Structure 1
């Protein structure tokens, strides 16, 4: 298609996306509560003459038909997550959150605005599209992850390839960070119950101290990664929450610990969990406690398909930063990639020369210049032959 016309459409879509982004940012909604968000998404898509589907109460799906190919066109999909986080915003922006204790601290408002901008561009270039495009606006990525639910509902039926992306404040706006192979690691959620016997703090011999047992368990588990896991493998064990006891002068009879296990693949996660079980069993015997770890499957690893990565690489020419490091953060986009090939990449959203606050922080801020880069890159993917 005409490059000048394409660029003009992208610029127009980016201007509208900026307003959408600021509106979404000012009214963030938590997972499975994104009712005002999906109303706005539906309104913008209907203004483009598109019919929408609502597979979940707070999910929106739209299909855009290309007219530039034959009757056996392929279908590619894009995912944008739409939920916010329970964090009080401290970023001093004119469009800051108007909801106490809730903010878009992970950039999902930018993802949503970019996908709506993409819809506008695609509707203006249907004749250049040799594929059909499905846009998925997904709720609750930060919570239990709705990707798996949407997959079970058949959201990928007829889809040949899928792409996801995420803003990244460590990269300057205008750049695209492209990883190969494994992007995000595998995860397990762990909950540990430590049961002992309460007693007066002055008579520890009459009880079995669950706090002491919990402290020993946490401490010893930190040696698993440093002593049991090979240095060429990536994994971690982190404990973020501990509850127990009734008073400072009473030995606790029970303690509850919450944590996470992460690894570059399922095998490493399984190994770390098995070592935690061994430690729990041994400590239970030594300290005469009952330490019981329970593990729940979290997100699977996000693994990019090579052909899909090449499509992103082509679309991001001139803006590309190849990324080699593995992240042990997770994303439920893995549920889509377990069904169809695709790629997950990063959209630079930082300000050059500025100390940009990280994701999930109260001062996180998106450089709005990234909106145009995102729209242009996604549209560039759509114009390629599968």
Structure 2
């Protein structure tokens, strides 16, 4: 199952792997702005003579053509950074750009897939089939995967595999459980309209601040009292804008938030109930409500056979104790778009190490990874592709 040439190639190129990750970390680019990252990926693929084409406006789709006939397996890495100010100022590879940071590990994903491609390219004559390499932009805005599919990323693909570095797991550990992995991630916006007026004459007004506050306090009962407790869901109000001046009763209030869950029926139910609560709360006070509900990423559900193959590959490559029973997360991931086109799985590779201060939450300004995890991720990419095609 494990290809020793691939293993040696990853080990041999581990220093280069770290260098690539550090370069990408120091030069973060936001969603749909990954121009220099795209150019770097293309230049690296050119050095390996791997064929590719650039997607628009950013991103790369490449293919390693094996020397024998067979299926096609896709490997995906995302490339975009976040609008987060990096707080790791002491690092020699800290972000060069104020307000931009690789605070989620996408720099590591891109570096790992490039080195995995280099290792697979060394054994391409023995590969029965093809390996599709997807370097995806705009994961953080949940748009990139859908666009990559439109531009041919999954054309002819039989199976798809992805990895996410995970600071909540110990370094080197691998988790890939069958079933739910990442939740669906939806956005909602509720606009309440009352009747403004002087703060000293409340009886002549309909206070949108009161309406919005009542909604925020009551809408949590959608989850706590209308959903089966064994079907987890999260409803979070993250933003509330109301009023214009200290002595003016607000006429308008705008609330924004997110909904996370794992199954479609729960997702549909929350959307329906959220609209119902907004309308009924507004009605109590004589106000009106307008609800905008945007379906974001779908839940990532790992195919059982694929997840079990990841586990077999991981234990064969790194030992029996490498597997980690990480629970599903309410975080969102647009990797689900690829799994609409072909079966596959999405694995987590641990990078948390308290001695190196790499256990900070993803999207935090202090986020960083234990770089010893890079080789684990790169080899898992390559060995999974080899094992799948050689089944």
Alignment: residue pair count: 383
User: Does the residue aligned with 2:176 lie in a helix, a strand or coil?
Assistant: strand
Q: Secondary structure at the match of 2:62?
A: strand
Q: CA RMSD in A?
A: 1.6
Aligned to 1:202: 200
In the alignment, the residues of structure 2 paired with residue 29 and residue 44 of structure 1 have an alpha-carbon distance, to the nearest angstrom, of 18
Match of 2:370 in 1: 367
* Structure 1 spans left out of the alignment, 5+ residues: none
Structure 1's 145 and 349: CA in aligned 2 closer, same or farther, altered over 3 A?
Answer: same
Report how far residue 7 of structure 1 moved: 2.8
Structure 1 residue 322: Cα displacement? 4.1
Structure 1 runs, 4 residues or longer, greater than 3 Å off:
1-6, 352-355
Query: Of the candidates 327, 330, 352, which is equivalent to residue 328 of structure 1?
Result: 330
* Partner in structure 2 of residue 187 of structure 1: 185
Query: What's the offset of the Cα at 1:3?
Result: 5.6
1:378 and 1:191 map into 2 onto residues whose CA distance is: 39
SS class of match (1:383): helix
For 2:13, what is the secondary structure of its paired residue?
helix
Q: Does the aligned pair in 2 maintain the 1:177–1:347 contact within 8 Å?
A: yes
- Per-residue CA deviation, residues 293-320 of structure 1 (Å, 9 max, x unaligned), is 2211111111111121122112100253
Question: 2:19 maps to which residue?
Answer: 19
Residue 225 of structure 1 corresponds to: 223
Question: Is the aligned partner of 1:308 residue 2:294?
Answer: no
Structure 1 residue 324: Cα displacement: 5.6
Residue pairs, 1:92-107, within 5 angstroms: 92-107=90-105
SS, match of residue 113 in structure 1: helix
After TM superposition, the score normalised by the length of structure 1 is 0.96
Cα offset for 1:327?
Answer: 1.4
Q: 235-244 vs 147-156, which deviates more?
A: 147-156
Classify 1:82/1:93 alpha carbon distance in 2 versus 1 (closer, same or farther; 3 Å). Answer: same
User: For residue 346 of structure 2, what is the aligned residue in structure 1?
Assistant: 344
Give the corresponding residue for 2:65.
Answer: 65
Q: 1:55 Cα deviation (Å)?
A: 2.2
Structure 1 Cα separation of the partners of residues 340 and 238 of structure 2: 29
TM-score (norm 2): 0.94
Q: Match for residue 73 of structure 2? A: 76
Q: Answer yes or no: is the 8 Å Cα contact 1:180–1:324 preserved in 2.
A: no
Query: What is the Cα deviation at residue 107 of structure 1?
Result: 0.2
Matching residue of 2:176: 178
Task: Give the drift of 1:25.
Answer: 0.3
Query: Partners of 2:2 and 2:372 in 1: how far apart?
Result: 23
2-side partners of 1:283 and 1:158: how far apart? 50
Q: Structure 2: state its 5+ residue gaps.
A: none
2:384 is aligned with 1:381: yes
Equivalent in the alignment of 1:132: 130
Distance 1:209 1:165 in 2: 48
Map of 1:90 onto structure 2: 87
Q: 1:9 deviation in Å? A: 0.8
Q: Is the 8 A contact 2:105 2:164 kept in 1?
A: yes
Match of 2:10? 10
The structural deviation recorded for 1:12 is 2.0
**Using the alignment, how far apart are the partners of 2:176 and 2:322 within structure 1?**
7
Residue among 157, 167, 185 paired with 1:169: 167
Counterpart of 2:116?
118
Query: CA separation in 2, counterparts of 1:282 and 1:26?
Result: 50
| 1:281 aligns with one of 267, 275, 279 | 279
Q: Specify whether residues 4 and 232 from structure 1 end up closer, same or farther in structure 2 by C-alpha distance, changes over 3 A only.
A: closer
Check the 8 A contact 1:117/1:375 in 2, yes or no: yes
**Quick one: structure 1 residues 352 and 247, their matched pair in 2 at CA, closer, same or farther if it must change by over 3 Å?**
closer
